[in-house]
Chain A
Amino acid sequence: MSPITGPRPIGARRAVLLLIAATAVWAFVRLLAGSSPALPDASMISGVVEFVSGAAHPALAYESASVPRGAPPLLVKAMLAARTTVVYAAAAMSLALVVGAMLGFFASTAWWSADITGAGGRLAATLRHGPGAAVYASARVLIAAMRSVHELLWAVFFLAAFGLTGVAVVVAIAIPFGATLAKVFSELIDEAPRDAAAALAAAGAGPVQVYLFGLVPRALPDMGAYALYRFECALRSSAVLGFFGPETLGKFIKQSWNENHYGEVWTYLYTLFALIALADWWSGAMRRRFVA
């Protein structure tokens, strides 16, 4: 038995780690060259302490001396902002699901693969050699283009073009979210086990039936789980868009901050946290029952 001699090649994992470390060094050097993480001076520290200590006692009523007449109580206002956040997120998700389902179909390889359309049929041949790959490629390019613009940037774009409307906010969130859903849906459909589809095809079902009843149900639990996760992300994005005008939680966080009412800021932060925690719990409960 000869011992292993000679230099060992660097494994792929180690190479990846080295790459990450090297890039990290570059990143820190570059950022430090711009400015060092300022050793906080006294005023900064007191500001941070003042803000963080507000966590223990969020405001339950307005903190300013003069409250405009007819303004709802603070907690009601927080609830209304939460409601608006949910409205925008839900509308955006409804659009995103439609877009995701359609684009996801075209961006998957399943609908023109031999397993589904039957290896020998004319339909399969025409799809594979003709439009199949072209449609797939254009769908992927479209998805990439839609995804790479952040929803905030879409929102800035639409707000500049159309002004402040709810539809602009919803579409701004729906575009990248729909594209992300399409990408994940297409991957889940492609990776789903094809045992049921094969059984249906062997029993003589047509391509559409094989796809709809054999392939999609196998991927549906994972698709549903991811869609629920996306809904949670939509809630967060909807809250953040409030910084640009819509009356979601972000707007009031910014307003209260600018008035130095840290208690109110924490109230809105806790409302957002409660909203996300509720969505997280609900989607977890649903996901457990998907698998069952």
Chain B
Amino acid sequence: MIDRLEHVRSLQLDRPRSRFLRWSMAALVALMVAAWGSSELSFEDAFSARRRANAARFLGEIVPYPLQGRPFDATVAVDWGRDRLEDASGAVGTTLAISVAAAVLAALAGLLLAVPAARNLASPEALVDATAAPSFAARAAWAALVATVRAFMIFVRSVPEYIWAFLLVQLLGFDAWPAVFALALHNTGILGKLTAETLEDADQSPARALRALGATRTQAVITALAPQILPRFLLYFFYRWETCLREATVLGMLGVVSLGSLVRDARVSNFYDEMVLYVAIAAALVLAGDLLSAAARAIVRRAS
């Protein structure tokens, strides 16, 4: 009995521990606690009498306009809702189109950028057994290429989509296309990084075999590596498309005609009832997209 306890104790003592991890976790917890104590998050201000009155008034205003102050009538509510849906149908289509166009552009660009960012492909002797050590200049040049592409992808994905869209809309006009390019730019960074990692983790032997037989790097990638990474790439694509749909609904707040612009127009006119309805429509769209994406990902998983 004593032996077993000692054995368990020694197992516990030998478990892998990391001082960095402990300090990091402690720092994160301290950060979160300190955040609540900071001045921006004062509770007295948040729940003062004036704010509560504001909230009560707001709740009254989100009732559909034809019904405010009158007893509830279902037909009036439904008519009002149907009129709003008609107004919103164009915006729904534009939102969907923006998300698909952005996701597809990001997928193509990410795929293109993933190859020079994959360390197994962007090197002097990619996919071959080196016969002679490559020159320092060759290795340095390839390493610089990988570093540059990766740095570009990191920068592009660290700026949020909304900020890219703000910049591009201001520069290129209040149009759907700047929003598409902004979404595509941000997601190129993400899809590029994920695809590069998938390329690096894939089984290299078929590609190496082809190279040994004389295929060029491009031929080896297209015929041996691309089919391998396709299922994983499709999974990432659908996952990012879901997010693109979510973002496309709010990019309208910058002026593009999507659901977000309807929300913004309703808000600045103080039509809170319409604002809440448009938010609900946006939520329903995102929900439908989630279900579609989950179904597509299940199909891809089953087929691979």
Contact = CB atoms under 8 A, between A and B. Distances in A.
Interface string A24-47: 101110110011111010001001
A13 B276 contact: no
B94 interface: yes
A28 B101 contact: yes
A105 B35 CA distance: 26
A13 B230 CA distance: 9
Contact of A27 (B31, B97, B263, B279): B97
Nearest to B246: A150
Interface in B246-296: 246-247, 249-250, 253, 257, 260, 263-264, 267, 272, 275-276, 279, 282-284, 286-287, 290, 296
Given A40-B172, A90-B35, A27 B250 contact: no
A254 interface: yes
A160 B32 contact: no
Nearest to A242: B163
A153 interface: yes
A94 to B, nearest CB: 4
Contact of B180 (A17, A23, A31): A31
A165 B46 contact: yes
A166 B41 contact: yes
A30 B98 CA distance: 9
A13 B233 CA distance: 11
Contacts of A253: 163, 166
Contacts of B283: 145, 148-149
Nearest to A257: B170
Given A87-B38, A163-B54, A273-B155, A156 B267 contact: yes
A152 B54 CA distance: 20
A161 interface: yes
Contacts of B163: 239-240, 250, 253, 269, 272
Given A148-B284, A148-B290, A243 B162 contact: yes
B93 interface: yes
Given A84-B40, A88-B40, A91-B36, A160 B173 contact: no
Interface residues of A, number: 75
B16 A24 contact: no
Contact of B20 (A11, A246, A276, A285): A285
Given A27-B96, A153-B282, A87 B177 contact: no
B263 A153 contact: yes
Contacts of B300: 12-13, 16
A226 interface: no
Contacts of A276: 158
Interface string A247-282: 100100110010000000000010011001100101
Given A51-B167, A243-B166, A254-B166, A87 B35 contact: yes
A46 to B, nearest CB: 10
Interface centre among B41, B55, B154 (most CB of A within 10 A): B41
A36 to B, nearest CB: 8
A116 interface: no
B209 interface: no
B183 to A, nearest CB: 12
B51 interface: yes
B108 to A, nearest CB: 10
Contact of B267 (A51, A160, A277): A160
Interface string B157-178: 0111011001100111101110
A48 interface: yes
A225 B121 CA distance: 28
Interface string A163-184: 1011110100000000000000
A286 interface: yes
A240 B162 contact: yes
A285 B23 CA distance: 12
Contacts of A236: 158, 160
A134 interface: no
20 contacts: A13-B234, A27-B97, A27-B98, A27-B104, A28-B101, A31-B94, A31-B97, A31-B180, A38-B177, A44-B173, A48-B171, A94-B36, A153-B260, A153-B263, A162-B46, A166-B42, A236-B158, A247-B40, A277-B158, A280-B158
A217 to B, nearest CB: 11
A243 B161 CA distance: 13
Given A12-B302, A20-B104, A289-B20, A31 B267 contact: no
B171 to A, nearest CB: 5
Contacts of A165: 42, 45-46, 51
Contacts of A277: 154, 158
Contact of A31 (B36, B98, B260): B98
A290 interface: yes
A277 B250 CA distance: 25
Contact of A148 (B21, B176, B180, B286): B286
A71 interface: no
A167 B21 contact: no
Interface string B20-63: 11001100000111111010111101110001001100110000
A40 B21 CA distance: 51
B40 A38 contact: no
A35 B257 CA distance: 12
Contacts of B16: 292
